[in-house]
Each structure stands twice: as structure tokens, then as C-alpha cells.
Amino acid sequence: MVNDDSHSDATSQEGQADTRKRAGAPGRFASGHADDSGRLDRSALGELGDARGGFRGVWLALRRWFAWANTDNLMLVNPISTGFIGSLLVFIGSLQTNSPFTSKIPGSWYLGVDSSPHPGNLIVELLAQSLVYYGLILTAVAWLRIVIGTRRGEELRHKWLLFGLWVLPLMVAGPLFSRDVYSYAAQGRMVTLGINPYNGGPALLGNSAYRSTVDPIWGMAKAPYGPLFLYLAGGLVELSGHSPLLTVLLLRLVALVSVVVIGVFVVKIADLLGVNRDLAFALSAANPILLYTFASAGHNDALMTALMLIGIYLFLKDRRLAGIIVVALAASVKVPAIVAIGFMGYHWSSSDRVLSKLRGLLIAVGLTFAVFYVLGLATHLGMGWIPALSTPGSVLSFEDPVILVGYAIGWVFAHIGLPFGPHFVVGVFRAIGDAAILLIGGITILGSRRSNIVRLTGVVLVVTVVLGPVIWPWYLGWGIVLLAIGAGDLSVDFLILLTLSAMPIDFLGAPTAFAWIGYAGLVTVLYRRRASLVAEAEEVIFGFRRAVAEVVPDRFQRYIPKVARLDAGA
């Protein structure tokens, strides 16, 4: 696997060395005071500006000053207490009876929900929302502190205490920033009544307490989840005594346990690969995306990701069949886990011959669909979830580049008189996006090695989200968890900006423009780390060409596009 260490310029290296020197030797998260010798005063800025050429000199000085000042201040933060206070403020702010951050429908949670609609108070509402905003900022600061500390080699000694204190207030609060968990509960109730969720949405429950808390958007939507998850949801309904609120509580506990499992197996895989276990934990289990959208919101993506990690770990431990079956179970919760099946199946065989690898891939895919079929029979739910996979795409998400560009082009077409409206063009762009996902995924699998399947699975999962029909922050968690393992400078920078970009968009209900500011930042990161990015892409493409050269007979080689031939560019 190519190491994505930075190829930064000499100025950056000097700044990093100086920062490390002032921060002291790596140690526990109890940093001493950093000295301020590196900071520049106004006169120094002016002199530097004159010396280096006016505005450009001032700009360089300001950039250096802010980089040093922010790092110095950040290293003084106590991450455990700061993150706990941040989560506590979010919890307190969410208690306001008209909070937009959690459901206030009667019966939706134990705290902060009146039995009847409340007129509210504008000043109280603004103050409560401000607490949530400030709490999220503190959470981000605390998270950045542990990421930067572990990146420098500091030991994250009390990781589970930190995790517990950060997540506890979020679990006491009602499900935050999403109402999907109420849909899961309603679908579980449908299973117990013998109503197949693949034939219709929670509206089929009629006048039911389970239906009342479901977001109306999904009232008629067919379930896009696998039979394993729906059967589990039905079991939790039975366990709760058919109590909607207790069912939601149990579903959130499953999500919380799943995030704990993610933290455990991220560390196990990091140890197996000989990489920084504390940095991997900080970027994944302690990531605000996982804390808020996996654990607190109770999304089933947490269970899918946990099972996927367990399967990958078993595979890397040479328990390959068991690993593939466990990942197939993960895909039976939610289908994106099947991406890992592609990489694991391709490297199932110990042979270096591509035909043997392709045979292993076909067997792994066949085994996965056999698991789907058996679960469909055992749960009496069948395979109706496969056609229902398009359900999430029924929502237009303008944070999704494919949707926004397609809609904009369609709008222009409609206004110049062409018979192609926005929805038609969006449909075409979605098809192109799906084709691009398959193409990129196929090339990456064929160009992968057994040593980099964890990282490349994460890459393809991120690509799947970005080019897919809709983007939600919990979707980003799939790739974040895998990219966190063995992350070098490119991945760390990318994951930091990805996380901080996703937080304001969906957690705060910020406008779509924030998403595109985030995209601009991500493109900047990729450009600055382009040497690492290009080196890794070249390695994957070379592996792909080698696979094509081995499989395609010589007499047909001339029909292959030059970009896919081994001699291309030679």
C-alpha cells in the first residue's frame, strides 16, 4: 500500500517541527503550556509584509500566525471535559419543547417532549439553539485536539472514558438530527403483524402509535434494508412489549453497542496492520459523525459498519470464509457493505493469478446472495428489498454534486425550451453516477493488493456516497471508519475536513452553500496532497492493467483502450 505521507513544502515542515518542539514530547493528554515565542505581533507583521512584498508578505505572515496560534491553543484543551461539556450543552439545548434538532411529537421521547403541542417562546428557543451550536463547536474542538495529539504520537490512554462521557448526554437526549429510528421501529412493528415492509411503508399500520412519529416523507416508502435488520427490528418490538418508545430505546442501544464494537475492531485491525491504533480510534469511534448520527440518531448504518469490520478482521486473520459470511450479514442489514465483499472475494485465493482471484470473487458474491436468499426465506420477507434500494433516492439532496449539477442543467434546458426538465436530467445523471461507481469500484478491486483492501474499501465507499443518489452524514461514516485505519497525512486531512464539512450542513440545518464550501476545501486538500494521491492512483491503475493483461488473450490486446493496457504510457 502506498503511504500517503505528505509532500509539503519546506515552510510547512519548518512550522510543524517548531510546533512539535514547543508542544513538548509525546505523552498523555495533559499538555503543558506552550510557549508563545513563535507568535508575531502587529509590527512584525508589518515588517514582514514590507520585506516580502506588501500584501503577499502580510498574507503569509497571517497564515503562519493563525496556524501556530490555533495549534497552540488547541493543545491546551482538555479533550475529555471539553467534549463532555459540548455533549451536555447539546442535550440541554435539545430539551426545549420546540427544538428543531429532535422530534417533539408526543410520545417520541422521555425528556423534553410535551404531551400536547406547545406554543413556545422565541427567546428561549434561540437560547436553546445557541446552546446546541456552541456544544457542537466544543465537540469539534475536543475531537480535533485528540486527532492532532494522536497524529503527533501522543497516547490516548483513557479512550473509553472519553467515549463514554462524550456519548452519554447524547444518548439521554432524544434521537438527534434524524427521525429514521422511528421508521425502523414502525417497520419492525409491521414485521410482527405479518405486513411485509418491502410492499409498502409505515402508513400501512393505519392509526398506530408506531406510525405517529414517522417522518411523513417515508410514510409510503418501502424499506430498503435487508431482512436481517428488519427481523431484528421485529424482535425488538416483541421484546419491548409492543411499546413504540421502548422499541426506539432498544434500537438506539443496538446502535450504541455497534459503535463500541467499531471502536474495538478498529483498534484490533490497526494492531494487525501495525499502524497508529489511537489515531484510528480518534478518527472513527470518537468522530462526531459516529457519535451523533450512528449512536444518538440510532441509524442502522452503525450495525452494518460494525459487522463489516468484524468480517474484515476475521478475513485478515485468515478466517476468510467466516469473514465473508459476516460481511454478507452486514450487507443483509444495509447493502453498501457488499463493497467489502468485492475486495475480500478478489483476495480470497492465495494465488497471485488473476483468474484464481476472479474465481474467488465470483464465489464470494454467490455466497453473499445465498445468504440474502436464506435470510429472506427464514424471515419470510423474501428479496423485495433489492428493488426497494432506490427508496433513499426519492429525495433530492442538493448537497449531492450529481443531483445539483443535473438539476441545474435540467433547469437551464427547461428555460431555453428543450424538452428535458430537471427531473429527467437528474435521472440521467444518477444513472451516470451509478455507472461511474461500478467502473471505479471494478478498477480499484482489480488494482488492489491484500495489504491495502481496508483502505481501498473505504475509498470506494466514499466514492459511492459522493456519486450516489443522496448524501446523508451517516452515509459518510461507512468510509470514514475504514479510512481511519492506517491514515497518513492525506487521509487525516481529508477526514478532518470531511467531518467538519458535514457537521454544519445537516446537524445545524445550514444551507446547501455550506456543502459546496466543504467540497472546495476537500478539493484543496486533495490538491495539496496530490503527490500522494497520484502515487496511490498510479499503483491501483498499474495493478488493474496487469490484471487485464493477464486475463485478456494477446490477440485481443489491441482492442483494449490504451489507458487499460499494461504498455500504456510506457
Q: DSSP per residue over 83-134, as a string?
A: HHHHHHHHHHHHTSTT-TTB--STTS-SSS--SS-----HHHHHHHHHHHHH
Same-domain pairing of 466 and 430: yes
Three-class DSSP category at 176: strand
Assess if residue 160 is contained within a domain: yes
> Cα(43)–Cα(30) distance, rounded to whole angstroms?
34
CA angle 335, 496, 338 (to 5 degrees): 15
Assess if residue 49 is contained within a domain: yes
What was the pLDDT predicted at 37? Answer: 37
CB 167 within 8 A of CB 351: no
Same-domain pairing of 331 and 286: yes
What was the pLDDT predicted at 18? Answer: 44
Domain count, the chain: 2
Same-domain pairing of 243 and 309: yes
Assess if residue 484 is contained within a domain: yes
Q: What are phi and psi of 176, to 5 degrees?
A: -95, 140
What was the pLDDT predicted at 52? Answer: 46
What is the residue type of 25? A
**Grid cell locating 427:** 435521472
Distance set, CA 369 to CA 116, 140, 334 (Å): 47, 40, 13
Domain boundary among 124, 156, 172: 172
Domain boundary among 156, 172, 188: 172
Same-domain pairing of 106 and 141: yes
> Cα(465)–Cα(400) distance, rounded to whole angstroms?
9
Assess if residue 19 is contained within a domain: yes
Assess if residue 3 is contained within a domain: no
Could you tell me the mean pLDDT of each successive run of 10 residues in the chain, 570 residues long?
43 41 38 38 44 57 55 79 96 92 91 80 90 93 94 91 97 94 96 94 92 89 94 97 96 98 97 94 96 96 98 96 97 96 94 91 95 94 86 70 84 84 85 92 93 93 89 91 88 89 71 70 81 86 86 73 62
Q: Is 279 exposed, middle or buried (0-12, 13-18, 19+ CB in 10 A)?
A: buried
Q: Tell me the CB-side half-sphere exposure of residue 330, using CA atoms within 13 A.
A: 27
Q: Is the dihedral of CA 559, 565, 569, 570 positive or negative?
A: negative
CB 230 within 8 A of CB 334: no
Same-domain pairing of 157 and 275: no
Same-domain pairing of 504 and 446: yes
What was the pLDDT predicted at 239? Answer: 97
Assess if residue 548 is contained within a domain: no
Q: Which domain holds residue 327?
A: 180-528
Same-domain pairing of 371 and 511: yes
What was the pLDDT predicted at 522? Answer: 80
Q: What are phi and psi of 102, to 5 degrees?
A: -150, 155
Q: Which residues contact 496 (CB under 8 A, 6 or more apart)?
A: 144, 147
Same-domain pairing of 109 and 186: no
Assess if residue 337 is contained within a domain: yes
Q: Which residues contact 12 (CB under 8 A, 6 or more apart)?
A: 6
Domain boundary among 154, 172, 190: 172
Same-domain pairing of 153 and 247: no
What was the pLDDT predicted at 66? Answer: 52
Q: Is 413 exposed, middle or buried (0-12, 13-18, 19+ CB in 10 A)?
A: middle
Assess if residue 537 is contained within a domain: no
What was the pLDDT predicted at 50? Answer: 46
Q: Which residues contact 62 (CB under 8 A, 6 or more apart)?
A: 45
Same-domain pairing of 215 and 196: yes
What was the pLDDT predicted at 58? Answer: 59
What was the pLDDT predicted at 20? Answer: 41
What was the pLDDT predicted at 388? Answer: 82
Q: How many beta carbons lie within 10 A of that of residue 52, not counting itself?
A: 14
What is the residue type of 324? I
Same-domain pairing of 67 and 189: no
Runs of H (alpha helix) within 240-353: 244-273, 277-283, 288-289, 301-316, 320-331, 338-346
pTM of the complete model: 0.84
Same-domain pairing of 143 and 51: yes
